[in-house]
A and B are shown apart, each in its own frame.
Chain A
């Protein structure tokens, strides 16, 4: 219920802000209509209607008003043709085209049970490290993140695989659930991620460069998680007790064999896919298709390929792709109407009137995105709010690539910030009944703090993200 109250407060605040904004100017121009539309989208999304159609609907309604000329017949409004044209634009967008292929690859790999072998062999080989189960969880998530860009699945899967052994070994519930939720979300940051494809398509930034740029910040975040877990386990061993003898008593040779069997084939596939993209050999679409083919071969190799599983992966791919792409259709109509009304000009006027330094602007924009991440999801932020900041980047001399990396890191927090922390709900869905949502939220907080640390690090040392794209493409 706390979440509902939070939602109501946010809703009320947005409405108050919109009303105030419309009262201040002496004359309501078309631009203000655009701002009204922007305020209404937040309200409308919170009403819980599917976001894709909310964007489409507001785009249609305001577009109709924008195009309206006195005496014009209803159905001759150009907005109807706009709707068709924008849809066709998404259908022929060769950047978004790689989304279904990466999604397909992810679902096929997820159904091979590789992640399950990987986790078990890792935690046996890492038995001597403090908090070994939690460390193995982060490492498994990181490796899995380089093979898939799906989020919900990883958290659910790790919740089933890693949570029961951690609880059995006497781990602190908060630490155990926090590490799964945080680790599971790495998939959206570490390439190949669907989020970066959408950002690239929205911001006209090369997805290849985004992938190259996001690799090290993603690994840095994973490393920080691991250091945090080891640190906590060292300081207070009661939080993450060592494994009992009989569980860690698997002969090293056998454990290594398991690790090689689960890791090497997957690693070859990942290196081939990511390497060919980042190395500039293949386009993301080409690499994704080869990756999907490789995933099917891998599934066949593990004897996990059958008609039923293939069918499931195909159907799930269709649903996830439709979800992402229809959202993009809606956002295209929305942003074209916003541009038509000219709301962007007013916003730019405000921001330039603030006379911010580039650093202040960067902090302000990231703060806005961070706050929006509490009630909204990453998809909505990327397709609605990022386009608003983008035209301002040139004014402050900020590289859209660097901005994209900061946003990607920032949105990691959107998954962990209550009340819409998707990760928490996925985990709650598969956790034993005595693990409460409150414990999960509580456990995620330190990881959110780590994400902020990672953002500060990336900001202070932009080379973490920018080094690889610069070396490769300049």
Chain B
């Protein structure tokens, strides 16, 4: 067998990676052997064996159905509110629709300042994770889906606003500029200049985000924002593995369903 010509480089890279990882392994309390500890094994085994058979009483299934709908509704309502906020903010933030830049190519200082402020607002909205919004909002509005809906609306408003503006900026500038130069209003330039080119991408991104919101709203349930996640958390705390098994299956199906719907809708657009 001939020697690996690059063995020295590979060896050094491996050594460096290990040296860098070592303090991380210590800090993260990375002790895989505790998984094989007798006590932990028996607890895990007990928990896993309670998964079968999954809970399937009519009463429980009805609860699961209700909370699954609650999850979908939270995601949908949150997305609707997020779009309601994001669309006007996009109009403010998109430089393509600026009137003051016509001719000179430079945006007036006041408009530039407003645009900058709105962009910062969008960045703040989207960089606080939705789960942290939910955690804070649960303390303001109490347990339940209201906190989840508002958390989704806030985070996704930031994301949608930013990406909508980017998509509009990257669409073909000619139509928009021609309209604005000939005296059309900003709204008309958006509707007839920028949208026809960008609409498919905008809708496709929105649908993709809706899919993300469904996943996100399950997760937010874990901090008490209602829906399937909250039920999972409750079953988890009672160590009811059979209920958890059912809900995990429902969740996998829900995600696959949202995935399929979103793929179908996006295929129609392209």
Same assembly: no
